[in-house]
Copies of this chain bind each other. A is one copy, B any other.
Amino acid sequence: MEKIRRNERMSAMMKILSDAPGKMFTLSYFCEMFGAAKSTISEDIDALRQAAKTFDLGAVETITGAAGGVAYRPRMSRQAARTYIEGLCRKLSGTERLLPGDFLYNSDILSTPEIVNQMGRILATEYAQTRPDFVLTMETKGIPVAFATANALGIPLVIARHSSKVYEGSAVNINYVSGSGNIETMSLSRRAVKENQEALIVDDFLRGGGTARGMVELMREFHVGVVGMAFVMSTIEPMKKRISGEKSLMTLEVLAGENPEAVVRPAAWLNG
């Protein structure tokens, strides 16, 4: 193989690292791939760390020692996060997306990869320090953003279902009170999680908090802790939710009247 130039090698490393967030690559892995000395790869990594920092593109982290290596972690500055969410709020506010019953049409936003990946990076930045073992969501609309968050954290996604499916094996079921006041069932395969793990709950929408409360109780059945709860959007009303300590990216207020209007705002913590 002809000699690889440093800029090509570094670009390839950046791509490989950022494709697998949180995954630790040994220096030897890159030495072998590029036919380069450890000292060379080590210098490359220092330069990558600098480039990522300069352009707010996340963190290139190195761990020294026998079990050491290098890993990429998506990070988004608070300012970039706020600017991004402000743009989304403008898109969602107004009269056009309001549906009967004060629901807001947002299915398109919640499954457009470019948008969802940014939301995932923001939530991963916020919850990385809590070190969850997996992200938990309840089907269906929150799955893409929960997946993007899990991807950015480098951990698996676990999806609770409305009822246990034969193809998921034996399951734990719980009942919970849904937003509409009905008693519903939430189900998770016994194989999906292990005792003493820690979960980060991610979902698309928080109104009363019934479903979120159900997820917390489901985790209790599995002896799994909950390190945090994050939502794409929460309603201003009711102010009192069945859960506490959660973080949403946006809040939704509906102004009543002849032409009801949605007012979507960035959540207060994004100003901090």
CA distance A128 to B121 in the complex (A): 26
In the bound complex, CA of A140 to CA of B146 (Å): 13
Contacts of A8 in B (CB 8 A): 10, 47-48, 50-51, 54
Picked from B11, B103, B155, B189, the residue with its CB within 8 Å of the CB of A11 is B11
Which residues of the partner chain B approach A151 to less than 8 Å between Cβ atoms?
A: 113, 117
| B19, A111: Cβ atoms closer than 8 Å | no
A228 in contact (CB, < 8 A): no
Contact of A5 with B by CB under 8 A: yes
Q: Which residues of B contact A176 (CB under 8 A)?
A: none
Most interface-central of A4, A6, A20, A167 (chain B CB within 10 A): A167
Tell me which of B9, B116, B156, B167 contacts A113 (CB under 8 A): B156
Answer yes or no: A169 CB below 8 A from chain B CBs.
yes
Whether the pair B15, A15 counts as a contact (CB closer than 8 A) is yes
Please tell me which stretch of A157-165, A213-221, A262-270 contacts chain B, meaning at least 4 of its Cβ atoms lie within 8 angstroms of it. Answer: A157-165
Q: Could you say which residues of chain B place their CB within 8 Å of the CB of A113?
A: 147, 150-151, 154-157
Nearest residue, chain B, Cβ from A137 = B111
Residues of A within 8 Å of B, CB-based: how many? 65
B14:A111 contact, CB within 8 angstroms: no
Measured CA separation A10–B12 after assembly (Å): 10
User: How far apart are A116's CB and chain B's nearest CB, in angstroms?
Assistant: 7
The answer, yes or no, to whether A208 is at the interface (CB within 8 Å) is no
**Interface residue? A143 (CB, 8 A):** yes
Cβ–Cβ < 8 Å partners of A211 in chain B: none
Q: Which residues of B contact A50 (CB under 8 A)?
A: 8
**Is A192 an interface residue when CB atoms closer than 8 A count as contact?**
yes
Bitwise, A138-151 to B at CB < 8 A (1) or not (0) is 01110110011011
**Residue pair A99, B167 in contact (C-beta under 8 Å):** yes
A51's nearest neighbour on chain B, judged by CB, is: B8
Query: Nearest chain-B residue to A48 (Cβ)?
Result: B11
Which residues in A have some Cβ–Cβ distance to B below 8 Å? 4-16, 18-20, 23, 33, 44, 47-48, 50-52, 54-55, 57-58, 99-101, 103-105, 107-108, 111-114, 116-117, 139-141, 143-144, 147-148, 150-151, 154-159, 161, 166-169, 189, 191-192
Q: Can you sample 15 A-B contacts with CB below 8 Å?
A: A11-B13, A15-B58, A16-B55, A16-B57, A23-B114, A99-B166, A101-B167, A107-B168, A107-B189, A108-B191, A111-B156, A112-B156, A113-B150, A143-B144, A144-B147
Closest 9 CB pairs of A and B: A103-B167, A113-B151, A8-B51, A111-B157, A11-B14, A7-B7, A143-B143, A139-B140, A12-B55
